[in-house]
Amino acid sequence: MSRKRLVLFLFAIFALAVFVGCGSSDDDSSSENSGTDSGSTVAASDCTPANLSTFKDGVLTIGTDSPAYPPYFEDDDPTNGKGFESALGYAIAGELGFNDSQVEWATVPFNASYAPGPKDFDFDLNQISITPAREKAVTFSEPYYTANQAVLVKKGSDLDGITSLDQLKDASIGVQIGTTSYDAVVEQIDPSSDPKTFDNSNDVVTAFKQDQVDAIVVDLPTAIYLRDAELSDTVVAGQFEQEGGDQWGALMAKDSDLKGCVDQAINTLKEDGTLEEITNQWMADSAKAPLLN
């Protein structure tokens, strides 16, 4: 074989090896990603009570913690369909073909929900943020909520009743450094004076109690908790969107066969406006946290 032909022969062998290697890598990648993309490939006919492999035959079991607090649940009763996640649970069930009488709620402590191992529910709704660490042990649906930022002020203050972010321009705002809340204050409120920053959330709350700041900005769920449980005579003056907020998903057992159908149900609720209606009703109106423009 001539030197030239030898070089061409070796080049062809090398090219073939690269091609085969790339093909193998793509196949592996597709296999690994099939679980996360299952919502886009599942057939609608598969997402019916008769075809779904649920914890109990013919029943959709939804988990959540107890006690169950507003605005996510009302009257500590997930079964009444009132509250953001109660209403959402029944809406997802409806998309899967279950009527309300075919839905059961199971008590699942928050920390136990994302622990490794089998589950005695089909999916769990409990304000559970989607994180890489949790995804190692459980499977999440498509996000159904992204936490907004919120402004907490003292009841009866000059900031109680504001309707826009512009009305916060001259306010003294407290925020924890290095958080999405800090970014939201700087980028979206852009106050005339720099926000007062603190190392941790406890220091932010203390400064607010001691009147060192006029308002604090935290994520909406935290603002609701502070208003209702820790800081009396306060109001959530309003909420506003911020890119990078915590995303919540319906939690399922690792590699659950239900993921594709639950994803499909949530996406349908997004597309037809139902999810937006539920969110506005319970996370804005009933939560007394108006949207700020």
Q: What is the pLDDT of residue 12?
A: 38
- Residue-level pLDDT at 242: 87
pLDDT at position 268 is 98
Report the pLDDT value the prediction gives residue 7, as an integer from 0 to 100. Answer: 35
The pLDDT averaged over each successive group of 10 residues in the chain (293 residues) is 37 35 34 38 89 97 96 97 98 98 98 96 97 97 97 98 97 96 96 97 97 98 96 97 91 98 98 98 97 93
Whole-prediction pTM value?
0.82
Q: What's the confidence (pLDDT) of residue 284? A: 96
Q: Say if residue 143 is exposed, middle or buried (CB neighbours under 10 Å; 0-12, 13-18, 19+).
A: middle
pLDDT of residue 204: 97
- Looking at the chain, the domain(s) classified CATH 3.40.190.10 span 39-146+246-285, 149-240
* pLDDT confidence of residue 173: 98
pLDDT at residue 126 in the model: 97
Per-residue pLDDT, 44: 81
Instruction: Specify the CATH architecture of the domain 39-146+246-285.
Output: 3-Layer(aba) Sandwich (3.40)
Out of 3.30.70.3270, 3.40.190.10, 3.30.413.10, 3.40.50.300, which CATH number does the structure's domain 149-240 have? 3.40.190.10
